Amino acid sequence: MISFQRLLGRESEFFGLLEASAEQGACAVAALKSITSFDRQAPPELDDFVAARRRDKEVTNELTKLLIHTFVTPIEREDLESLADRLYKIPKVVEKFAERYQLVWEHVRDVEFTAQVVLLEEAMDLVREMIRGLRAADFSGIKTSQKRLQALERRADDVLLDKIRRLYDPGFPALKAVILRDLFDLIEKAIDRCRDVGNVVSQILLKNT
């Protein structure tokens, strides 16, 4: 006979792992905010980014093992796998930005990334709210967060367009323009990964209402 208490325990494990993955994404974003501070006097270190992605990879692997050994899951298996994959991609993209930024820091140390980074931070906060909402079955809260996330993504698109437009100003250094376009796009990609998480959570919501 299947133990009801055991099933409840496993449900808590699944949600706990998803929440832990979202927290590692938030740690990566916090590290990104730190390294892009405008008053930085030395090239950034990457230890925090590597650690966040490594921990997130461990969480993802643990969730995969749990799926293999669990008969009944709180959410459909493919949805859990999709959600874990999307969450893992957030710190992965952020780390890629940090790696590129470290390489070209001398060329872009006078450039502010604040507008994009703040939007990424807000997007990550919304992702965490939505993941926590799954455990609490807070469908109303999830819908509200998803709407805010979609609006934030549109704002991020506008910010990116404005930044790219400036790269075409007469006299703007060509090499610096190429470097910045790559960095701006990577932050935008991280925001898109947050959107992807929100989309998966919304699909799960639709299936369960």
**Domain locations in the chain?**
4-207
Which pLDDT score, from 0 to 100, does residue 74 have? Answer: 78
Look up residue 139 and give its two tokens.
């469908």
What are the tens digits of pLDDT across the range 147-204?
999 999 999 999 999 999 999 999 999 999 999 999 999 999 999 999 999 999 998 8
Indicate the pTM of the whole model.
Answer: 0.89
Question: What CATH class has 4-207?
Answer: mainly alpha
Answer whether 187's CB lies under 8 Å from 97's CB: yes
Which tens digit of pLDDT belongs to each residue from 88-139?
A: 999 999 999 999 999 999 999 889 999 999 999 999 999 999 999 998 888 8
**Distance (Å) of CA 15 to CA 35, 98, 115, 190:** 31, 29, 32, 23
